[in-house]
Amino acid sequence: MTPAMDRRGFLRLASAVGLTAAVAACGGPATTSGAAPAATTTEIDYSGVKPAAQITWWSSNPGSSQAVSQQIVDAFHAAQPDIKVTLVTAGKDYEEIAQKFQTAQTGGTLPDLIVLSDVWWFRYYMLGSIVPLDSLIRTVGIETPDYRDQLLADYQYAGGQWAIPWARSTPLFYYNKAHWAAAGLPDRTPTTWTEFAEWAPRLQASGTGVQHAFQLPALAGYAGWTFQNNLWGWGGGWSKDWDVTSDSAESVAAMQFLQDSVYKNGWAGVSSKDSSNDLSAGAVSATVASTGNLVGILKAATFDVGAGPLPGGPVVTSPVCPTGGAGLGIPKDIPKENQLAAATFLKFLTSPENTVAFADATGYLPVRKSADISGLVTKTPQSKVAIDQLEVTRVQDRARVFFPGGDQEMAKTCANILTQQADPQAELTALKKTLTGIYDQDVKPNL
């Protein structure tokens, strides 16, 4: 890991009241005037509380996980018939769940367990909308030391645990092994992007009929996340500590490389929707996509799929990979009986056996240290890549994670560079001005 301050470090410095306005500038639930005070980690007494007989779980079914999630729910019913769990598809993505959850705060029906994106959970803390899980963890016996440390820590603040990791991922480099063979390439992912730039013309000329050797991921959902890999590899980044560095020579060089791959050299395209589908269809030879896409790619592809760690750059080769995904939290404004029942199910849902079942069905990372991954790795060898890569992940740039609306601004800038052929230096300089404005107005006053 880099020595830069991580998310917890930022939050420890932030003013709880002031940051409420800052996070409101992001899409999703508002945290402006009228918000409840931030939750505290005061001990909650669940002694004598009987778990509710029925609870609801709101999910967006990340990684097409509805079927396996329902299977786990059914297994829970068999093990604990006194609690019925209803799985509700509350949105197609994290943003839709966030909007629905926010609406429920003002008079709707709240869920008892909810999916919390890694970059959304803190606003729920600010609103006082989620309960600290520490008392529930002790009451139902959730063994937190057995969860992967770096994933569990993503949901810690003010001495409390606010969510439990569940659908967690890293980006992976996926490739078509048949195309690799046709081009005479070694059966592995490139070590660096420079190496892949040397391979790409061979893939283009190998007679496979592909549109492009590589497909850049859809910018709206992935640019700010996955392109950190490229920026870091060139020695740049969206930011360094609190300083915006999107216009640095290193960052510009990284984006110039990506633009040249599309326009000057012509071996890369930009996905309009989902680059993993483009790969599975055989239209491109390689792409970068989430670990959560692994099972979907393997099911859809009619060829052998290779997967490996993200390439490094000409300056930095490791660590150059971020993490992502979601955890699970429990609303504050529901009865203790419902909170206790939700925690009971949460313990079952993220058990070592079920985290392997979930990983097997989706490609997400097993979140428990004691999980027996031998069968998973035997069945899907590619899954071990993500598990191994977890040890060399890097803390995300603050400008993406902490600057309200920063991710959206990055996506707009990347779209201009990669689909409109705009000048990288000019675009990244303009992005720095925008991000610096966000920092000065919404972040700096709260440090």
Q: Where are the domains of the chain?
A: 7-169+324-371, 171-322+398-446
Assign residue 386 a region: left if phi > 0, alpha if psi is -120 to 50, beta otherwise? alpha
Q: What tokens does 137 get? A: 């963890």
Per-residue confidence band for 107, with pLDDT thresholds at 50, 70 and 90 = confident
Q: What would the pLDDT profile of 15-40 be if each residue is shown by its tens digit? A: 333 333 333 333 333 333 333 444 55
Of 219, 229, 246, which Cα lies nearest the Cα of 399?
246
Q: What per-residue confidence (pLDDT) applies to 28? A: 38
pTM beyond 0.85: the answer is no
Task: State the pLDDT at residue 404.
Answer: 74
Q: What is the mean pLDDT of residues 45-61?
A: 97
Residue 128 has pLDDT above 90, yes or no: no
Common-topology check for domains 7-169+324-371 and 171-322+398-446: yes
Q: Which residue has the higher pLDDT, 149 or 370?
A: 370
| Residues 282/182, Cβ–Cβ less than 8 Å | no
The answer to which of 10-24, 70-84, 206-220, 389-403 has the lowest mean pLDDT is 10-24
Q: Which DSSP string corresponds to 348-365? A: HHTSHHHHHHHHHHH-PP
| Rounded distance between C-alpha atoms, residue 172 and residue 287, angstroms | 8
**Using an 8 Å Cβ cutoff, are 297 and 305 in contact?**
yes
CB 385 within 8 A of CB 307: yes
Spatial neighbors of 391 by CB under 8 A, at least 6 apart, are none
pLDDT of residue 3: 34
pLDDT (average), residues 201-225:
93
- Assign a CATH topology to domain 171-322+398-446: D-Maltodextrin-Binding Protein; domain 2 (3.40.190)
Spatial distance between the Cα atoms of 367 and 286, rounded to a whole number of angstroms: 27
Give the residue-averaged pLDDT of 296-309. 95
Q: Are 363 and 378 in contact (CB under 8 A)?
A: no
Sign of torsion over alpha carbons 396, 402, 406, 411:
positive
When the pLDDT of each residue in the chain is averaged and rounded to a whole number, the result is 88
pLDDT-derived band of residue 443, with 50, 70 and 90 as boundaries? confident
pLDDT of residue 27: 36
Nearest to 87, CA basis, from 118, 114, 50 = 114
d(CA 192, CA 212): 19
The identity of residue 66, as a single letter, is: Q
| Rounded distance between C-alpha atoms, residue 414 and residue 334, angstroms | 42
Q: What is the CA radius of gyration of the chain?
A: 22
Contacts of 60 (CB under 8 A, 6+ apart): 89, 90, 91, 92, 93, 94, 96, 97, 115
Which CA distances in Å does 439 have to 6, 98, 435?
A: 17, 23, 6
pLDDT of residue 154: 80
According to CATH, the topology of domain 7-169+324-371 is: D-Maltodextrin-Binding Protein; domain 2 (3.40.190)
Are the beta carbons of 211 and 269 closer than 8 angstroms? Answer: yes
Answer yes or no: are the C-beta atoms of 231 and 316 closer than 8 Å.
no
**Contact by Cβ (8 Å): 120, 28:** yes
Sorted by sequence, the CB contacts under 8 Å of residue 95 that are 6+ apart come out as 27, 28
